[in-house]
Amino acid sequence: MQALQLDAIHQPAAVRDIPTPTPGPGEILVKLHAAALNHRDVWIQKGQYAGIKLPCTLGADGAGEVAAHGENVPATAPAVGARVLIYPGLRWGDNPRAQAKDFVVLGMPDPGTFAEYISLPARYIFPLPAHLSFEQGAALPLAGLTAYRAAFTRAQVQPGERVLVTGVGGGVALTAVQLCVARGAEVWVTSSAEDKIARAQALGAKGGISYQADGWVKTLMQQAGGAFDVIIDSAAGAAFGALLDAAAPGGRIVFYGGTLGTIPDVPPAKVFWKQLSILGSSMGSEQDFEGLLALVAEKGIVPVVDEVFPLADGEAALRRLEAGAQFGKVVLKIA
C-alpha cells in the first residue's frame, strides 16, 4: 500500500510503498478514503514535538470503510463494508478524568492515517455519521474530540450561556463554534482576520472582533451585552490576562493549547474574586468521542473542510497548514 511517511525532522514527507497491515485478533482493517491534517503533523516534521520516533506514517484523522476483520472481533463491531471513523488515539485508559500515561495520538510512534490501510483494535472504530462524506468525516475526529471535551466535558457549556471561542479559523476552534451553537449557546469569536469572523458568523456565531484591536475585550463585551460564561482558548501566553477580564463572575476558561507560550503574571485576585475556574483539556476519551458523534448525527453538523489534496501531494498539504491561511481542515483524499 501507499503511505505518506516522514523519515527525519526538517525533511519533506514522502509517499512510498509499504506492506499492507494484517488485522490481528480483535482488530479491524480499514481501507482509508480520506485523512485530515493537524498542526501536530507539522510540529513533528519541524522537531517541535515531544518523544519523536522516526520514521513514521503521519496522521491521526481518518475515514473509510471496513476491509476485513481479524479473529474474535466483537459482534457489535462495524461489518465489512461499513463506513467508519477512527478514534484518533490509543490507550486512553479507564479514568474519564484524564488519559493514562501510555496514551498516544495516532501517527507517531504508532502508524497513522496517511495511508491506504490501517489496522486497529475494534474499540477504536466507530460508524461514520450517515450525512457526512469521507472527506467531511476525516475532518472531524481529533479537532471534534478536542472541542467536544473542552466545551462539554470540562467547561460544561449549557444552553443559553455566552461563549467566547478565540482564534477562530483552525479546526478545533471552528468545531467548538459549531458544537456550542448546536447545543444552544450564544457564541462569539476572535480572530486576526475579518473574513474568518464573517465565515464563523455564517456557521452560527453571533459576532466577533480582531484580538489585535486596541481594547478589544471592552468592545466585544459591549457588543455581546456582557461578559462570557465560558471562554475556549488555544493560545494562552501573555494574552491570557485579557481572558480574565472577559470572563463573567463564576465563569470557566478552558484552554487546549499554548501557541503563544507560557502564561505570565496572572493576578490571583482576578481569579479568586471573580470565582473563576481555569481548566486544562486535551484530546478526549472514547466516551467523549461517542458523545461527539451522537451530537454531530443529531444536529446534522458538517465539519468545515478548507482544501482537499491527493495523498501524493501530502507535503504541499503540510505547507498549507503551516502557512496558517486555512479556514477549517486540510484533508488528504486517498485513492
For 175-237, give the DSSP string. Answer: HHHHHHHHTT-EEEEEES-HHHHHHHHHTT--EEEETTSTTHHHHHHHHHTS-EEEEEES--G
pLDDT of residue 253: 97
Q: Which fold, 2-140+303-333?
A: Quinone Oxidoreductase; Chain A, domain 1 (3.90.180)
Q: Is the pLDDT of residue 185 over 80?
A: yes
pLDDT of residue 169: 84
pLDDT of residue 335: 76
Q: Is the pLDDT of residue 291 over 90?
A: yes
Average of per-residue pLDDT values in the chain: 95
Q: How far apart are CA 281 and CA 258, in angstroms?
A: 11
Window from 55-59, 170-174, 201-205, 285-289 with minimum mean pLDDT: 170-174
Q: Given this structure, which CATH class describes domain 145-280?
A: alpha beta
pLDDT of residue 211: 92
Q: What is the mean pLDDT of residues 16-38?
A: 97
> What is the value of pTM for the model shown?
0.95
Q: Is the pLDDT of residue 95 over 90?
A: yes
Per-domain residue ranges of the chain? 2-140+303-333, 145-280
Reported confidence tier of residue 262, pLDDT bands at 50, 70, 90: confident
Q: Is the pLDDT of residue 259 over 80?
A: no
Q: What share of the chain has pLDDT > 70, as a percent?
A: 100
Q: Is the pLDDT of residue 246 over 80?
A: yes
Q: How far apart are CA 214 and CA 235, in angstroms?
A: 18
pLDDT of residue 69: 98
Q: Is the pLDDT of residue 329 over 90?
A: yes
> Do 2-140+303-333 and 145-280 agree at the fold level?
yes
* Structure confidence by residue, pLDDT tens digits, 98-147: 999 999 999 999 999 999 999 999 999 999 999 999 999 999 999 999 99
Window from 5-19, 148-162, 233-247 with minimum mean pLDDT: 233-247
pLDDT higher at 282 or 235: 282
Q: What is the mean pLDDT of residues 200-216?
A: 94
pLDDT of residue 203: 95
Exposure string for 274-286, b = 16+ CB within 10 A, e = fewer? eebebbebbbbbe
Exposure string for 78-94, b = 16+ CB within 10 A, e = fewer? beeeebbbbbbbeebee
